[in-house]
Amino acid sequence: MALSLRASSALLLGARGHALARRGTAAAARPAAAPQRPLITTRAYRDEKGRGEEPKSPPGGKKEPLPASLPHEGGAPQDSLLAFPFARPAAAEPPVEFGQLLASGCPLRAKLFDGTPVWLLAKMKDVKAALVDPRLSKVRTHPGFPELSAGAKAAISDREPTFVDLNPPEHTRLRAMFAAPFERAAVDALRPFIRETVEGLIAGIERKRAYGGHKGPFDLHEEFSLPLAFAVIHRILGIHPEEGRHLSKNVAVRASGSSTARDAAAAQEEIVEFMSRHAAAKEADPSGDDVISSVVRNHLTKGDITRDQLVAHAFLLLVAGNATVASMIDLGVVELLGRPDQLQALRDDPSLLRAAAEEACRFHTASAYALRRVAVEDFELSGAHIKAGEGVIALNQAANRDREAFEDPSVFNIFRNPPPPNVAYGYGTHECIARELSLAELEAAYGGLFSRLPGLRLGVERSELPWSDPRRDVGLAALPVVWW
């Protein structure tokens, strides 16, 4: 579960804020009225199979400037800036502009939904440098922080901040209170539960078929990926499975792009109310081995954290990573089913499961717009003069396709040994708290599915899969599969 998702950034919006968020997202998704010219004069980075290939460097290796990247000379005209987020050209391909940015090697100035300029960083070295630079703040209430929708921007003052939106030392202090269940030793101790959950979900799929169900395609996302993600985080939060079933429905409604604004807001309100009751119950009896009980015992009773902060963090942990983990299960399954040689190697050698999980996250980077910052002082990065109050977005999806960091980055390859470090989960102080847990879930999911359901295959052509909105994080609304 990746907690730095954009979903977590809209924490505790409330009904009004959520409705605004949905309208704002829709507005941001509309293409700019004026036709957009290519960033640079290299061809789009798609190979003959359409899977994506970065453009080669211009002759002589000289960097070619982007037409809208001259703010250090006073800034390009506002109407010439490209609208961000960029759209994926098709299905799961990254935006063409990411490849063009990588070829240029220069930071780019673009504009957000409301016309606010923002700096975009694509190179791995620039992304990593930005994510550890104290001159860039994670505090979303700081003037100039780049928001991606009107709703998110309007809701900032109405919510309780969590550690994902704070700078050290407050970030470090609050994060440490919730870190224990996400540390490697704790994740290793949780692996048997994760495997048991995987086995139970697969057994349920097998039972349905035995009793006449699943004669045609069934939705792996709905019957496996989401339930696994929910079960694991519910265990960590101390939520009873019976309560979790209804809660999961509300979380799914809240996150679904097809839900109405009213339904999504109502679902969110129910989630907040539930987490408030859940925190109160743990406060009354903090004897459990879950993270909420631990924080109550060790910090709430000592005044280290307020009850509102506890509820906000419980909400964050519940909603932030479910969609991302489920999405990465789905996307990894799609990629592996499309590469029989790699899939067979994975079945023959389970030690490749970790590499497969890492590669799926690198290749798709399902949380691609979360690494946002605002400059608190003037400074220079890779030739760009960034001024105090200007927003910066580190494009981890682009960085994960950087040729200077990965060999053949547009190729899905589980045989990278060892897997080169990627930034799918961020980098530095704010790296996703649940990175190890997420990877453990992916390992168990791939291992269980491909060993127990050897005949698993897509139920439709890859081109017919219901991919997410091209201006949102890559993912699937459903994953129809069949098996025999």
* Residue positions annotated with a catalytic role: 324, 367, 432, 473
Which residues lie below 8 Å from residue 93, measured CB to CB, with a gap of 6+?
46, 50, 51, 52
Cβ contact 11:316 at 8 Å:
yes
**Among candidates 281, 323, 290, 296, which has minimal Cα distance to 193?**
290
Cβ contact 400:362 at 8 Å:
yes
Instruction: Say how far apart CA 401 and CA 422 lie, in whole Å.
Output: 9
Could you tell me the CA-to-CA distances from 73 to 69, 70, 215 in Å, in that order? 9, 6, 64
Which residues lie below 8 Å from residue 400, measured CB to CB, with a gap of 6+?
124, 362, 363, 365, 406, 409, 422, 423, 424
Instruction: Say how far apart CA 233 and CA 246 lie, in whole Å.
Output: 14
Instruction: Say how far apart CA 427 and CA 396 lie, in whole Å.
Output: 9
Cβ contact 111:59 at 8 Å:
no
Cβ contact 248:226 at 8 Å:
yes
DSSP letter, residue 462: G
Could you tell me the CA-to-CA distances from 476 to 39, 320, 461 in Å, in that order? 29, 17, 14
Could you tell me the CA-to-CA distances from 181 to 18, 188, 294, 350 in Å, in that order? 30, 10, 10, 25
For 101, the 3-state DSSP assignment is helix
What are the strands, taking DSSP E only, across 345-406? 372-375, 379-381, 384-386, 391-394
Burial class of residue 218 in the structure, from the number of CB atoms within 10 Å of its CB (0-12 exposed, 13-18 middle, 19+ buried): buried
Instruction: Say how far apart CA 247 and CA 369 lie, in whole Å.
Output: 26
Instruction: Say how far apart CA 32 and CA 37 lie, in whole Å.
Output: 12
Burial class of residue 37 in the structure, from the number of CB atoms within 10 Å of its CB (0-12 exposed, 13-18 middle, 19+ buried): exposed
Cβ contact 417:355 at 8 Å:
yes
Cβ contact 225:183 at 8 Å:
no
